[in-house]
Amino acid sequence: MQHVDEDTELPVAGGSCTIFAKLLERATYLNRPHKKEKNNVSPSVPPALRKRKANSMAGCSQWQPEKTSNVDKSNNDRVILNSINQTNPSFYQLLEASYADQRTFLNNILEVPSVLDIQREWPVLFNKYAIKWHFNKLTGSNLDFLSENLNNKAAKIVQFGLDTSKLISCIETEDLNYQSLKVLSKYFKEDFSLLYYKFKYSTDIEEILKVNAPCIVEICNY
């Protein structure tokens, strides 16, 4: 059993894999922050930060796996991983082995790590291959496929938004990818301003990374 993309006629995934992915997406959608019970939040997080944490977790199926109890091994893996300069099998094995530690470090909602903190403790997370791997692990989605699929489906999504009058009434820009994201955010009743950010090239990286939630950031010259 296999699913095929209707536009490209290329296989997308095995049927069981796709069905599982759809069920997982549905479960994630139903458990979005504004769908959760108010008391379904860790008591260790102050009330003022609970909404922020819930928003940050949205769409992340692997937000915080359990950490290993072997502290020495964890520290050793981190040191070795940060020193690797090539993307060989060991690189990805160590990313996998240390993923829970990476998330524990990044998920500190009480003392959000700065760029300098990340550069000091986990410099490997500035490696583009590590970034892609981490995103795929965190969300269960392939970053490259997401970009390709959006390019292929943007026109259809925008047309759907036009046909459904409550979503959009006209095309505001020639950038169909941008317009399709606005359609999707309205369809799922999400705040687009929290999903998509634009920054100038000259913007300090610290300012950009104050956005502590899964989002799309465009660095542009405007």
Domain residue limits, the chain: 2-57, 71-139, 143-220
H or E element at residue 61:
none
CB atoms within 10 A of CB 157: 19
Q: How far is CA 178 from CA 153, 175, 217, in A?
A: 12, 5, 12
> 117 vs 217, which has greater pLDDT?
117
Rg (CA), the chain: 19
What integer is the mean pLDDT of 181-197?
A: 86
Is 217 strand, coil or helix?
strand
The answer to pTM > 0.75 is no
Average of pLDDT values for 153-180? 85
Nearest by Cα to 124 from 88, 78, 89, 90? 78
Tens digits of per-residue pLDDT, 123-150?
A: 999 888 998 999 999 988 888 887 788 8
* 72-106 residue pLDDT tens: 888 888 899 988 878 889 999 999 999 999 999 98
Q: How confident is the model at residue 39 (pLDDT cuts 50, 70, 90)?
A: very low
Estimate the crossing angle of helix 143-163 against helix 176-187, to 10 degrees.
70
Question: Residue 26 above 70 pLDDT?
Answer: no
Q: Which residue has the higher pLDDT, 117 or 7?
A: 117
Tokens (6 digits) for 205: 């990286």
The residue assigned the tokens 């660095």 is 219
Q: Which of 90, 89, 98 is nearest to 125 (CA)?
A: 98
